Amino acid sequence: MSRFRLLQFNMQFGQVWDDEAPNTAPIRVEDAIAEIQRHNADIITLQEVEQARPDGKQLNPPPNYTRLQAALPDYHSYFSYPQEDKRELPFGIGLAIFSRFPLHDMFHEYIPSPPVEFDFFGKMMTPTDRLLIGAKTHIDGREVALLTTHLLAFFMLKSSSEVHGGQRAQVGQHLQAAKLPTLVTGDFNVSNKESLLAEYEKFGFGTVHKDEITWRRKPFVLDHIFHNAPWRCVSHEVIPTMSSDHHALVAGWNSLISPRVV
C-alpha cells in the first residue's frame, strides 16, 4: 500500500485554545474539523468529541459527531458516549474512529473510575466512568484491530494512576490478548509516562513517541499511539494546533510486516 497515516487527536469538543483564558475560550467546532481534515489521515481517532450537558444528558444524534460525518464523507466511522451519569462535569465526552477502510466488529466498553473524591468549586465529587471503543478493518488485505480510549486524569485529582491502576490495566487486557496487528490510541492522561510505557511494553506494545509534549496546560505527554510488532512505524509528528488544548499526533507506516510462515 502507499503511505498509511493515522491521526490521534483529543479535540476538546471544539473549544479552541486561548493563552489568556483557556477555560472560557470559544467553542468553534469548525476549527477542529479543519484541523482534522488537513492531515489527510487514513485512520482518525478522536476523544472529547462532544461536550457534556447538564445532568449528564446526552444528545442523540451527537451534534459534533454528526458534523464530522458530514465533513468526512469518504470515511466509515463509529462513535460512542460513555454511560450517562448525572455527575458528569461540563468537559469533553465521547470517542470516535474514522477510517477510509470499512469497519466491522465495532464495540464499546465502559471503564470504571474509582471513588476518588475531589473538590469541584466547593462541592465534593467522585469521577464518572471512562470508555474504550474498538473496531476491526482490513489494510493491505490483512485484518487489523483499532482501539481508542480516554482515561481519567488522576493527577488532576491529586492522585495517580499508579496508585489506582485499574483503568490502565483494563486497557492492558486488550493489549495482552491481541492476536491481530493492533493500534491502541488515545489520551491516556498519565503524567508519569515511563510507568505507562513500561506496563504496555510487557505486552509487546510500544508507542510511536515518548518525549514530545501533547498538552498545552502542563508539559505532559498524554497522547499516544501504541502498536504491536506487525507494525513498523516510519514517521511521527506532534503538531501544535490552536483548535484544542491538545496537539495533534500523526504517525505513518509504509506497510505491515508480513507474518512468519511456520
pLDDT digits (tens, 9 = 90+) for 52-68: 998 999 999 999 999 99
Domain range for 45: 4-256
Mean pLDDT over all residues of the chain? 95
pLDDT at 258: 64
Q: What percent of the chain has pLDDT over 90?
A: 89
Within-domain flag for 261: no
Where is average pLDDT lowest: 28-37, 117-126, 167-176, 201-210? 117-126
Within-domain flag for 262: no
Mean pLDDT, range 82-99, rounded to an integer: 96
Q: Number of C-alpha atoms within 13 angstroms, CB side, residue 100?
A: 11
pLDDT at 230: 87
Within-domain flag for 60: yes
- pLDDT band for 105, please (50, 70, 90 cuts): very high
pLDDT at 140: 86
Q: What is the total count of domains within the chain? A: 1
Non-local (6+) Cβ contacts of 247 within 8 A are 213, 214, 215, 216, 223, 238, 239, 240, 241
Within-domain flag for 190: yes
Most confident of 4-13, 115-124, 251-260: 4-13
Within-domain flag for 209: yes
pLDDT at 232: 87
Q: Are 182 and 222 in contact (CB under 8 A)?
A: no
pTM comes to: 0.96
Instruction: Judge whether residue 262 has pLDDT over 60.
Output: no
Within-domain flag for 10: yes
pLDDT, greater one: 122 or 65: 65
Within-domain flag for 237: yes
Cis peptide before 61 (omega within 30 of 0): yes
The CATH number of the domain where 78 resides is what?
Answer: 3.60.10.10
pLDDT at 257: 72
DSSP-derived secondary structure for the chain:
---EEEEEEE-GGGBPP-SS-GGGPPB-HHHHHHHHHHT--SEEEEE--EEPPGGG---SS-HHHHHHHHH-TT-EEEEE-----TT--SSEE-EEEEESSPPEEEEEEEE------EEETTEEE-PPPEEEEEEEEEETTEEEEEEEEE---GGGGT--TTTS-HHHHHHHHHHHH--S-EEEEEE---SSHHHHHHHHHTTT-EES-SSS--BSSSS---EEEEE-TTEEEEEEEEE--SSSSB-EEEEEEEEEPPPPP-
Instruction: Judge whether residue 259 has pLDDT over 70.
Output: no
Strands 50-51 and 104-111: unpaired
Dihedrals phi, psi of 218, to nearest 5 degrees? -145, 155
Within-domain flag for 202: yes
